Structure 1
Amino acid sequence: MKKTEQSIKKLFMKPLSSTRGGAFYNAFPYPTKISPEAIAIYIASATKPGEKILDAFSGSGSTGIAALLSEYPTKKMITTAMALGIKPTWGSRNAVLYEIGTYATFATRTLTNRLKAKDYSIAVKSFIEKAKELVGGYYFAKSPNGSSGTIRYAIWTEFLVCPECGAEIDYFTNGTSRNPATFKKSVECHHCRKTCSVDEMTFATEEYYDKLLKRTISRKKRKLAWIYGTSKGENWDRAATTEDEAFIRKLENEFVPNELPREIKWGDLHRAGYHYGITHLHHFYTIRNYRVMSALWELAGTYPEREADALKLLLLSYNGAHCTLMTRVVAKHNAKDFVLTSAQSGVLYISKLPVEKNILLGLQRKAKPFEECYKMLENCHGTIEIRNVSSTKMIELDKSIDFVFTDPPFGDYIPYAEVNQINELWLPKVTERSEEVIISNAQQKNEDNYRDMLTKVFREINRVATDDCSIAMVFHAAKASIWGTFADAVKSAGLEIEQSSFLDKTQASFKQVVSKTAVQGDPIFLLKKSESGKTVIINEELILRQVVADNPHETEIEQRHCYSLYIGKCMENGISVQRDAVQVYEYIRNLREAETL
């Protein structure tokens, strides 16, 4: 057995923390499920310097960045490897990345273009200064005592319609309270005094002339409700005034668009309620923030190409999560005021209280992690080949890849092409959805289509991989049927699972937080080319019993870990996964109840 093979197998014996956080995590709005630093440990354990790494679903390019980082490991990477008892061979590697997403490809190319951190810093400083002169006045507001100030962010409110009398009710004023911050489940109509459930009330609409579409359309009725600002270093907040509303009307009246409207291609994420009237990109913004984004995008294009791309990436990295109506506030237990937060990842949700952030302030904060990223990569010698095409047909020669690290789409988990169009519509083109490997009602792709597309990619991986190539694959699902589809694709491609582990994540995604069927820690598998059929000496029931017996399962997170381990052991032994996550959690609850009798 080769030394690298021993190292990668040893690494799989313990869960590796995905080390979320740090510069790369903070730079992107849709971060990968495992950080480049963690992937670099896998790469340095499985390969030698100079060898070639493949990622067939590269997303924002973490595997490529990891290949570069393996030349100059951070202190945290070195200490993590030592704690795991492995000795990676650090040094320069080369990477080949396949990704159909245009935003993800743009992000990877831009971040790995070897722009010097110093040049990036100079460009950002110049950009921010020019941006303040250009649109800084858009965020002007007076403090409660009348002094000049700057908006940090503003809460907008929808209007609800009383089902009894048809009166329009300001949701912020009537449906919320502060100190403590609360979202009320019911409101009293100020006209007829009837108490109504918020969930059962419809929203008010209004007609307006859309200058980009050049026609009158209908939208949800919203107005400014509360403004948070700063004056001479002092933060303040107050109710929106007629003066604030007049400025918004002025921005709308003076708007002279110099671009064509960009249509949203709706799919599985469209909801008739909170997406009412949203058909084009500009509908996701307040008039103020759309005008700011348009002006800043045009300004970024005036810089030299590498700096221009870096500035556009900075804009896009902040855009999806912070610039649109999807930004929101939440009410935390006993908090005196609402807490500002970003858009929910993986969805296109707009709340009844959308938030308008000051984009200029956000960009200044966002620029620092990117500067750190450029600094870490600017002197790396490895090469990255980025292919913005489907990985169902690769151009690499047979047996030319030394290690594969990839993270296939998780069935119907997140429709990335639909989500990412909020950023991609600012770029020259959007993702070609016909090539998206996904289960999607909107795209008319079922589990069979998903399995067939996965199989094509896995066969290509088999073809280009050397005979002794290790293949590390992250996969996540809460449904047994999706695991069966994944297992079928692996087997049909001539691969087999040799070992399993899971990524010990410290921060869950939005869907993992709210879902009762979520899995804690994405399973990660070590695959190789099939040599012969496995002899099954254990069944699915015994695997589940053993996993539960060997691991704590008192807390919800521990139960989620048990499901990941159960999946891994089934896949290692070539046994069909029989249970969804919710069924395993029910099994554990029943077992605990039996133990207490």
Structure 2
Amino acid sequence: MSKKTYNSGEPSLGLELEEETATEQKDPVTVLGLTFANDDERREYFRAELRRKLPELRNIEGFPIGEDDDIIALSDPPYYTACPNPWLNDFIAEWEAEKKDLEAKGLRKTDFEVTEPYSADVSEGKSNSIYMAHSYHTKVPHPAIMRYLLHYTQPGDIVLDGFCGTGMTGVAANLCGSKSEVDGLKLSQAVAGCRHSICSDLSPIASFITYNFNTYFDAEKFNQQALHLISKVEKELSWLYETETESGGKAKVIYTVWSESFVCPNCGQTIAFAKVSDSNELQLRENFICENCSAIFSKRQAEKKFETVMVSDDIVNQNSLTPVLIRYELGQKQTFKKPTNFDDELCSRINSLPYSSALDSFILPDGVKTKELIQNGRIKASCIYTKRNLIAFEALWNAAKDLPLFRFVLTSVLVKTGSLLHNIGLKNGKINLAGALPNALFIPSMLAERNVFDLVRGKLKDILKIKLYPNRSGVNQIESATSLENLKDNSIDYIFIDPPFGANLMYSELNFIHESWLHLLTDNRSEAIENSIQHKNLFDYTSLMNKSLSEFYRVLKPGKWITIEFSNTSASVWNSIQTSIINSGFVVANVSALDKQQGSFNSQTTTTAVKQDLIISCFKPSEKLLEHFENMRQSDDNQNIFVSTQSFIEELLTRLPVIIVNEKKTTAVVERSPKILYDRLIAFFVQNGRQIPMDASEFQRFLRDTFVERDGMFFTAEQAIKYDDLRRQNPEMVSLALFVGSEADGVQWLKRELADKPQTYQDLQPKWMQDLVAPKKGDAIPELMQILEENFLKNEDSQWYIPDAENEADLEKVRTRRLLREFKTYVEAAEKPKGRIKEARLEALRTGFKNCYQEKDFATIVRVGDRIPQSLLTEDDVLLQYYDIATNRI
């Protein structure tokens, strides 16, 4: 075996470690029709093929930023490529052939068809070993995804996740092959059997995590390899984590608490943020008392202390950090101590080492999330580590060159618990090793520097708990969802995605540190987010989602389904997603809830975040309907138009649930209402380049003449019989929802929801999103929180309730003042030469027109009325009345 030397100016840092290699399966391996003596031979063959294809692959959107050697080293082709995977269609052809064998064995149906969406709300916790093994910004628990896979697919089907993150869709597809896992979900008519997955993401670290989560390993063998590797490196570097006891003996450091330093605004004295008592208890300072001048001041009043340091060849000013408390282990006992001269000298010795890190080459990009790190002088990926932790991590990383699963262990602790981002908390005087704040790049004022070797051993235990089904059922790649060039049309059986939502998460910025270790960075040009630094607003986000969903529509087979998870509180982002779905050609069939129970960090700590995500179920129209529309292009006669309308509505109705039955309640299906059906019809005709076949009133007559109406909803004749039976069995069924298509609708909707009991924003928001429909053109519906604040009151438990008559009058006064302030902005816009008001809040216009009328300011009514969208003016009887009167009074 070869030797590799890790060079340093410290003699005991000159590691000579035997490079660890993964023990591979030595039996013959067959993949894509080719047979190899073993996995090593298979990998080397396909790596050579991948290298040959890289020049052409570099032209595909989403190709990562990095060198060819780093891409090849990270890849395990043809199953995993750290770039677009050129073998996807080859796998699909092989999997399609396998379907015939499964059908012959009775394990698949040739006439399998899903006519209704999975409409039940799903609640799945995150406390399973797979979910907890490796952190990421957002994840859907794999048991939740399994429920959708078992409903929409059958064994052997091909599943795509184009925003795969950590690859939980791949895990779910694989575990569908485990009868015990499937039985554990307690689903009726669920058929166990592996589904094949294609997991794709723009991020190199996401694809790397996906690869490891979806590659079966021998836990016992890997444990031996990993522990051997850790022991070898620790043997050479244990001196990094030594301290001296009171008796002069040596002990092992478990972690060191570091504190940011501040400068007294009065005399310039340095003061540490954290304070340690004489009994070695850590304390937070609510206010600083300067020991030099006795000045009392808060953290906000003080400035951070900075110190000049050399980072590679750059001289930078970094915020000063000081060790204030050490927890160490001696035998079986752990205790605390304040740093002594021994510890200060050790830190000085480590920091003086002429150590060169590979991470010094990766300069933090300007970004929304990286801004604070850069301001604190943390300009490179290496700057978010203490030097000793950086040395230890790099030694472990390099020693695991040929053991990707161990690097997977390392990536799970490199940032969250192994860096300067490691936040700590105090509860009843005890230190809580909380880890880095989720979805943030932030060095706290008080942090923990963990012993890397203990940290990695602890995480290794978590990884070893992963239980995967021993079958390689999927492949993954790095590619932008906006251009899935490696997938043929109509080749996928089902799609599950949890895409980015507006400005929720800055993935490429948050992934930068991890990806620096991989030497492969995200090309964020096609990253579908809102980001001011990338100059992407909501319109850019919508455009990127349009492109992505259009690609999903292209590759999905006709008549098949896509499930889209939505996690955002913004109505504008919700409307953007719905617009993108419709523009791509998909038809929305249902919106239900997904409760991940634990929730994200934000959902647990803020009152405006929600704990439930929404699940949007859509289908691609059947081949028969698409062919019918294509044939209809040749003729525009009324009979063809009627038949086309009937064909579309009939297919839509057959794909809607009759009613929705959940544990808590049974509800009517809002998608069966005339308004929603008409919206779907318009969208489909426009998407297919056809004129709208009829107006709303004609459509209502058509529905009544062609289908069966029940409780304001429409059904096929067969469905109506089923509905009547279900209605008798569920007499308490919740009636058809009140849609929110305007601000006034929203107020009435909230009054209905709050009539029985007060509710929190988190309770209301998922239901609000489900009942929200497109407003009139030009009308801007305020966000839910704004409507709540202007029309309702909140109790001490953060629950909103309907105010009594007296408070309601006070609220109306406050609301009127707010609306008039908003109306004033429209007046100012209307006074500008050639100024147009493209979008306005209808209630603000009504209030403003009313106020102008009372003050006899008719000119302002006319001026604003001439500048707002004419459809908004002419379709609202209140505005039009004021405008007509004002026109005659000028």
Q: Fold-level match, TM-score > 0.5?
A: yes
The corresponding residue for 2:862 is: none
Alignment identity in percent?
Answer: 21
Alpha-carbon distance in 2 for matches of 1:222, 1:498: 55
Matches within 5 A, 1:111-126: 111-126=213-228
Greater shift in the superposed pair: 254-263 or 414-423: 254-263
Partner of 1:323: helix, strand, or coil? coil
Matches within 5 A, 1:157-196: 157-173=259-275, 183-196=284-297
Tell me by how many angstroms 1:74 deviates. 4.8
The corresponding residue for 1:62 is: 168
Alpha-carbon distance in 2 for matches of 1:3, 1:467: 13
Cα pair distance change 1:584/1:300, threshold 3 Å:
farther
Cα pair distance change 1:458/1:577, threshold 3 Å:
farther
Amino acid at match of 1:197: S
Cα pair distance change 1:119/1:584, threshold 3 Å:
farther
Is 1:398 paired with 2:496?
Answer: no
Pairing partner for 2:566 from 475, 496, 505: 475
The corresponding residue for 1:265 is: 365
The corresponding residue for 2:726 is: none
Cα pair distance change 1:233/1:596, threshold 3 Å:
farther
The corresponding residue for 1:23 is: 129
The corresponding residue for 2:416 is: 321
Task: State whether residues 47 and 89 of structure 1, in contact with CA within 8 Å, keep that contact through their aligned partners in structure 2.
Answer: no
Tell me by how many angstroms 1:331 deviates. 2.5
Write the deviation string for residues 334-389 of structure 1: whole angstroms up to 9, x where unpaired: x122321110111101111121011111111111232232x423x1252x121201
Cα pair distance change 1:276/1:347, threshold 3 Å:
same
Task: State whether residues 543 and 569 of structure 1, in contact with CA within 8 Å, keep that contact through their aligned partners in structure 2.
Answer: no
Pairing partner for 2:425 from 330, 340, 349: 330
The corresponding residue for 1:243 is: 342
Alpha-carbon distance in 1 for matches of 2:430, 2:246: 17
Number of residue pairs matched by the alignment: 574
Cα pair distance change 1:119/1:571, threshold 3 Å:
farther
Alpha-carbon distance in 1 for matches of 2:365, 2:410: 22
Amino acid at match of 2:534: Q
Amino acid at match of 2:303: T
Greater shift in the superposed pair: 228-237 or 569-578: 569-578
The corresponding residue for 1:580 is: 783
Is 1:280 paired with 2:386?
Answer: no
The corresponding residue for 2:829 is: none
Is 1:343 paired with 2:439?
Answer: no
Alpha-carbon distance in 2 for matches of 1:179, 1:596: 58
Pairing partner for 1:137 from 239, 257, 267: 239
The corresponding residue for 1:49 is: 155
Partner of 1:104: helix, strand, or coil? helix
Write the deviation string for residues 298-345 of structure 1: whole angstroms up to 9, x where unpaired: 1111xxx3xx1111111111111011100011133xx12232111011
Is 1:153 paired with 2:255?
Answer: yes
Tell me by how many angstroms 1:271 deviates. 3.7
Cα pair distance change 1:521/1:182, threshold 3 Å:
farther
Task: State whether residues 326 and 336 of structure 2, in contact with CA within 8 Å, keep that contact through their aligned partners in structure 1.
Answer: yes
Task: State whether residues 61 and 97 of structure 1, in contact with CA within 8 Å, keep that contact through their aligned partners in structure 2.
Answer: yes
- Structure ID, larger Rg: 2
The corresponding residue for 2:230 is: 128
Alpha-carbon distance in 2 for matches of 1:29, 1:493: 32
The corresponding residue for 2:701 is: none
Task: State whether residues 257 and 325 of structure 2, in contact with CA within 8 Å, keep that contact through their aligned partners in structure 1.
Answer: yes
Task: State whether residues 525 and 568 of structure 1, in contact with CA within 8 Å, keep that contact through their aligned partners in structure 2.
Answer: no
Task: State whether residues 591 and 770 of structure 2, in contact with CA within 8 Å, keep that contact through their aligned partners in structure 1.
Answer: yes
The corresponding residue for 1:560 is: 762
Alpha-carbon distance in 2 for matches of 1:581, 1:179: 49
Alpha-carbon distance in 1 for matches of 2:247, 2:678: 79
The corresponding residue for 2:457 is: 364
The corresponding residue for 1:433 is: 524
Greater shift in the superposed pair: 575-584 or 489-498: 575-584
Cα pair distance change 1:574/1:19, threshold 3 Å:
farther
Is 1:311 paired with 2:413?
Answer: no
The corresponding residue for 1:105 is: 207
Pairing partner for 1:80 from 161, 168, 185: 185
Write the deviation string for residues 9-66 of structure 1: whole angstroms up to 9, x where unpaired: 3x422x2123212222111121643111221121112101000111111111111111
Task: State whether residues 281 and 429 of structure 2, in contact with CA within 8 Å, keep that contact through their aligned partners in structure 1.
Answer: yes
Partner of 2:255: helix, strand, or coil? strand
Amino acid at match of 2:186: A
Cα pair distance change 1:167/1:573, threshold 3 Å:
closer
Write the deviation string for residues 259-298 of structure 1: whole angstroms up to 9, x where unpaired: 3532111311134478411110111001111111111111
Partner of 1:402: helix, strand, or coil? strand
Task: State whether residues 490 and 555 of structure 2, in contact with CA within 8 Å, keep that contact through their aligned partners in structure 1.
Answer: yes
Task: State whether residues 498 and 572 of structure 1, in contact with CA within 8 Å, keep that contact through their aligned partners in structure 2.
Answer: no
Task: State whether residues 258 and 324 of structure 2, in contact with CA within 8 Å, keep that contact through their aligned partners in structure 1.
Answer: yes
Cα pair distance change 1:177/1:52, threshold 3 Å:
farther
Task: State whether residues 167 and 214 of structure 2, in contact with CA within 8 Å, keep that contact through their aligned partners in structure 1.
Answer: no
Amino acid at match of 1:339: N
Amino acid at match of 2:345: A
Tell me by how many angstroms 1:411 deviates. 0.8
The corresponding residue for 1:293 is: 393
Amino acid at match of 1:340: L
Q: Please list every run of 5 or more consecutive structure 2 residues that lacks an aligned counterpart in the other structure.
A: 1-110, 622-647, 650-675, 680-711, 713-737, 795-799, 807-890
- With normalisation by structure 1, the TM-score equals 0.89
Alpha-carbon distance in 1 for matches of 2:269, 2:211: 53
Task: State whether residues 139 and 166 of structure 2, in contact with CA within 8 Å, keep that contact through their aligned partners in structure 1.
Answer: no
The corresponding residue for 2:114 is: 5
Alpha-carbon distance in 2 for matches of 1:322, 1:12: 39
Tell me by how many angstroms 1:258 deviates. 5.7
The corresponding residue for 2:811 is: none
Cα pair distance change 1:428/1:209, threshold 3 Å:
closer
Amino acid at match of 2:476: I
Cα pair distance change 1:170/1:275, threshold 3 Å:
same
Tell me by how many angstroms 1:583 deviates. 3.1
Amino acid at match of 1:201: A
Write the deviation string for residues 71-91 of structure 1: whole angstroms up to 9, x where unpaired: 11555x534334xxx432221
Alpha-carbon distance in 1 for matches of 2:553, 2:236: 53
Amino acid at match of 2:464: E
- With normalisation by structure 2, the TM-score equals 0.61
Tell me by how many angstroms 1:588 deviates. 5.9
